Chain A
Amino acid sequence: MLIQAILLGLVAMLGNAEYLFGTCLLSRPLIMGTLTGIVLGDIEAGVRIGATMELAFMGAFSIGASIPPEMISGTVLGTAFAITTGSGPETALAIGLPVASLVLLAKNFGMVFILPPFVHKADEWAKNDNMQGIAVVHYLAGFFGVNLIIGLCVGIGYYVGSPAVEAFLSIIPEWISKGLEITMGLLPAIGFGLLMKMIMNKANACFFILGFAMSVYFNLPGTGIAILGAILAIVLTQIKRSQTMQTAVAQGGYTDDDEDF
């Protein structure tokens, strides 16, 4: 129990450490769920639940200065409790969503009270020409300001939360988890909506419909759609490119002719 709690805390810290490892998506629910499954000895359930959480948190990614719900703790604790209580992804979501919001508070506490002093310390070291100092500040700031907080929240949450969660789950009416399963069907729309907001305009909206149609009419899986989409993108880019070049050549040619006379 204690060992599992420590390991889960470390998993969460590893997830957050994606910011140390090139923002490599370690923190995504698909990975976190899997690692949680490995720690608790049920990899398959971890992968499955991680996949569901991934969809639910599809819209949770930091673009610019937006801070999404703390999905690492949400996923790890949600998945862990779903596995230990032998229940499904809807339980993971029922636990994960509130946990993600709660831990975001803790994370923000760190961002507001712990991190800024480090930032100012860095300024100070810069003034004193202390390169070593800046390097140390860099590592300590991320560790104490965010990483450790998440790890503690998850580790302690799992250790003290287990009995509480089991008690809570036993009184949770079935309609709540069923209602949440319906919600799970809707949630990915937020993520897709956010992505569309980012890249869609009137001219390229048709490609969204194309991908949709490929799925509903031809039952193509994700990989197939991606391959066809990539081919389409390459072909269209080439056409567009040759058009621009032709225009350029045509204009250039005209100027040359002009000079000859």
Chain B
Amino acid sequence: MASRPDDGLTEAAARTVHNQRVLWQAGWMRHGWPVEVGGFGGSPILRAALAEEVTARGLVYETMFAVVEVLLPTTIAAAPALAGEFVEPFLAGKERWCQGFSEPDAGSDLASLRCRAVDDGDSWVVTGQKIWTSYAKFASRILLLARTGTPESRHRGITAMLVDMDSPGVTVRPLAGMNGEDEFAEVFFDEVRVPKTRLIGEVNGGWGLAMDMLRNERGGIFWAFSVTLFEELGRLSEAGGLAAHDDELLGHAFVSAAGLRTRSWTTQHRMDAGNITTPETSIDKILMATSEQELFDAARFALDGEVELGDDPAAARWRSLYLYSRAASIYGGTAEIQRNIVADQFLGLRGAK
């Protein structure tokens, strides 16, 4: 999802942390979270409502709520004691987590991941590499998927754990993106000791948790994101120089954004009613990637040269957002993986012979 390039990642991260703290202290951020982690309880829909309004106003970068929604509900359900200690500081903006799933040789094929955690009494010793870790340089903890089974154990031998980023042996190497930001990073683990109290779920039970988290990543978070598409379309329509011949481009992008939003609305209410299955949210992710790219395609053509040639801050901002939007069909599971999931698990084509 688009971050705000006009004021830089570091500034955005600082502003995000500040505003998140304010939201927590004022109580807004507590609605919809269980009391065990400092929340007020209530439906998770309350969280979606807050995320939307905060995101629409640009008070935090968009992925702030996304990371919270992807990582925390599963952690709270699978590791109540750990959650009691660490979730509140995250929600309250005192610390940030990142998500350690992908590896250089385990992208779309996540079950082939190799980062190893070796049993050593009361700790694991972790050695390996993660990649595409968003905002790793601002994170104090990483939710790691590690190989605890045999190398061939695939999804049966993966364990989830919460690792401190300041542990000896952890190295973060940011990856510069073509949009000029280094949101993504590689994270290296060199015999990093992780206490067994940091286990999330069961040993070798990490795959199911990862699927829960991916479901959230592909569904629950797009409600807040959808409003940023409307905001960007509003900005585009006010950019000046647009004419009647741009109407079709604008309207097409608007309808696509509305498709994501209405789908996300049904997803929110179905999650609230507790009847949603994992593969369904891949539909939301496909709509998200498509609508974001169509919007910035529209911007590129309607702005008539600004994205390619412009050097003022507004042009640089559109360029950065346009370039970032190219990644939307890759991160969080590629468009192809999502279509496989929809076809195999939702349309029943898995095992077709």
Q: A and B from one assembly? A: no
